Structure 1
C-alpha cells in the first residue's frame, strides 16, 4: 500500500512559486530521500506534509487522508511526525523533559514510558544525559533528542528535515545509523538532505528536487552512480 502520495503540487509564498508540480511517493517500510540544494523546495515540502503550508493545486494523500485539508495537530495524530531543520529542542529543559513532550498527543502513559525506554536503548547517550539541559548538549546530541522526541509520538511516517546539518562527519554517520535503525524497527522515513552521500547510503529510493519539482528519481543505489547526481551532489 502507498503510504504517502504527492501529486502535481503547487505551493506559493506570495508571488514566489516554491513547488512546481511536485510529485513523489513513499511506500510503507521505506526510507525515501529528497535531495537538492538550498532553495530547491525541500523544506517547503516538509511543511506541506505537516500542514504548515497549503497547496494551491495538486493532492497530498496519506493512506487516503487528504493532508491538504487537515490541521497540523490532526496530521500528528495520524502518525506523520516532523523533526524540523535546526532541531528546535527546548534549551532550558532536560533531555528527559524534551523527550516527554513528544508524547503530548499520546493518551496512554504506559505507551509513553515504553517508548522512552526504547529511545534510551536506541540512543544510550541520551540515557546518560537525561538530566542535562538541552542547551548544553552537542549538536549531534541535540539531533538525537529531536529524533527521540518524535519517536515518543509513535510515528508511522517520520519526516526528517536536514538531520546532518552542521554536524561533523563522524556524527553524521552516527545519526544516519540511528535513522536506519528506526526504519529497521518498522518506521517509514522521508528524509530531506543536502548530504547526498550520507543519505543515499541508507535510503531505499531517492528523488532529486530542483526549483520545486522532481527531476531525477529511482533506487538510491542507481542515483549514487548517476553521473548527473555525482556531478551535482557527490562532488564528482
Structure 2
C-alpha cells in the first residue's frame, strides 16, 4: 500500500530549478533509497516532503495528508520525521536529554521513557554514554543518537539524509544494520545516501536522481546490477 506519493513535483530555490517533474512512491514497510551525486535534488526532495520548503507545483501525499498544506511540526506530530544531514544533535545536552527531546510532541511521559529505553536496547552504545554530552560522542555515536531521538518521536515514516557521511566503513555497516532493524520494527524509511553500495544493500527499491529528475528506478537488486549504476555510483 502506498504511504508516500509524489507526482510531477516542481521546486525552485529562487531561480534554481531543484526538482523537475519529480514522481516517486514509497510503500508502507519499505526502505526506499534516493541515489545521486551532489546537487541531484535528493536533500531538496526530503526537505519538500517534511515541509521545510514548498513545491511550486505538483502533488505530494502522505497517506491522506496533503504535504503541500501542512506545517513541519504537524507532520512530526503525525509521525513523519526527518533526520537531516549532519545529525544536528544538541551538543551541550546529554545523550538522555537529546533522546527525551525527541518526544516533545508526545503527551505521555511513560511512553517517552519506554521509547527511550527501546532506543538504548537497539543501540547499547548510547546506553553506555547516557550522561555524556552529545558533543563528546564520535560521529557514529552522534548518528545513532539522531536515530534514537527520532525513534522517541514514534515515526511512521522516517526520512534519513546521508546517515553514513563521514563515518568509517565499519561504523557505516553498524548504522545500516540499525536502520534495517528500525524498518523491521515497523517504520517505513526513505533514505538519501551517497554511499550507493551500502544503500542498495539494505533498500527494497531505489530511485536515481540527476538534476532534479528521476532517471532510473527499480528494485535495489536490479539497480545494483545495472551497468550505468555500477559505472556512476558503485565503481568497476
1:74 and 2:74 aligned: yes
Quote the residue 1:51 is aligned against.
51
Quote the residue 2:119 is aligned against.
119
- Per-residue deviation, 1:217: 0.4
Q: Which runs of 4+ in 1 moved over 2 A?
A: none
Quote the residue 2:10 is aligned against.
10
- Per-residue deviation, 1:148: 0.4
| Secondary structure, aligned partner of 1:22 | strand
* TM-score normalised by the chain length of structure 1: 0.99
In structure 2, runs of 5+ residues without a counterpart are none
Quote the residue 2:159 is aligned against.
159
Structure 1 residues 177-196: aligned runs within 5 Å: 177-196=177-196
Quote the residue 2:60 is aligned against.
60
| Secondary structure, aligned partner of 2:68 | helix
- Matched pairs, number: 236
CA distance in 2, matches of 1:90, 1:112: 18
| Secondary structure, aligned partner of 1:218 | strand
1:223 and 2:211 aligned: no
Quote the residue 1:202 is aligned against.
202
1:105 and 2:105 aligned: yes
1:87 and 2:67 aligned: no
Quote the residue 1:232 is aligned against.
232
- Per-residue deviation, 1:235: 1.0
Deviations along 1:107-129, whole A, 9 cap, x unmatched? 11111111011100000000000
Quote the residue 1:171 is aligned against.
171
The alignment yields a C-alpha RMSD, in angstroms, of 0.5
Structure 1 residues 132-143: aligned runs within 5 Å: 132-143=132-143
| Secondary structure, aligned partner of 1:114 | helix
Quote the residue 1:96 is aligned against.
96
- Per-residue deviation, 1:13: 0.4
Quote the residue 2:29 is aligned against.
29
- Per-residue deviation, 1:55: 0.5
- Per-residue deviation, 1:79: 0.9
CA distance in 1, matches of 2:188, 2:141: 22
